[in-house]
Amino acid sequence: MSEIQKILVFQQNDSGKVKTAGIRDYGEGRIRLEVISIDGPLPEIIDDASDYLPEEIDADLVLDFLRHPDLSEDLAALCRKRDIPVVASGKKIRAEGVITPPT
């Protein structure tokens, strides 16, 4: 049996709820899923995302369902440093290591 893959999901106000439910349903026994939710109002500009994002990320893949562009940019940079691929579906973010398929 192959190794279980760890997927880390970042979302705001349940923005990835439906997709994470699907991953849980179809990935059972093959995927370990962790969800980090950033809820509540956020400032228009976030200069330092360290109040919202973890210092360390341990995952095989990160899914970005964040709505705030500053958080998405900083998450992409954090993952790039650790060679963790990021899927940010439907976003216009253009960063190395980020896959942005249309929704």
Look at residue 1 in the predicted model and tell me its pLDDT.
47
Sheet-wide strand order for 31-38: 31-38, 5-12, 61-65, 86-87, 98-99
- Checking if the pLDDT of 21 tops 90, the result is yes
The 8-class DSSP code of residue 3 comes to P
- Checking if the pLDDT of 32 tops 90, the result is yes
CATH at 76: 3.40.50.2300
Mean pLDDT of the chain: 88
Q: Which residues form the domain of 14? A: 5-99
How many domains does the chain fold into?
Answer: 1
Q: Average the pLDDT over 94-99 and give the result.
A: 66
**Per-residue pLDDT band at 44 (split at 50, 70, 90):** very high
pLDDT digits (tens, 9 = 90+) for 52-89: 999 999 999 999 999 999 999 999 999 999 999 999 87
**72 half-sphere exposure, CB direction, 13 A CA radius:** 23
